[in-house]
Amino acid sequence: MKGKGKSRLAGYGKRGKIRVNPNVPTSYRGIDMKRRLVRHETVERKLRLKQGLSYGEAHKEALKAEHKGLTPHQRQVYEGKLGSIAREKKK
């Protein structure tokens, strides 16, 4: 979860530890939010380290894994909720 001033939802450190923003609910409207973010970070890290993909390429593939199994409506709800969390101002 690096980056100054950026609101991160999830990320991983150099040792591979995945962190999820505590403002992300475990579940929202029947969608397992945290599990999907962990899946995204796991896939992204694996693709970067083991296959040498750039961040952009790995991120694009990780999004596919993150959204797998969601209907278009569920994906819209999921991304909308994550977007609202990312836009929240820090207190």
Delimit the domains of the chain by residue range.
10-82
59 has pLDDT over 60? yes
Asked whether 7 and 86 are in contact (CB, 8 A), the reply is: yes
pLDDT digit string (tens) for 70-84? 999 999 999 999 999
Place of tokens 């909720």: 81
pLDDT digit string (tens) for 10-51? 999 888 899 999 999 999 999 999 999 999 999 999 999 999
Global pTM reads: 0.85
Q: How far is CA 35 from CA 18, 38, 54, 77, in A?
A: 11, 5, 23, 16
Name the pLDDT band for 4 (thresholds 50, 70, 90): very low
Predicted pLDDT at 90: 62
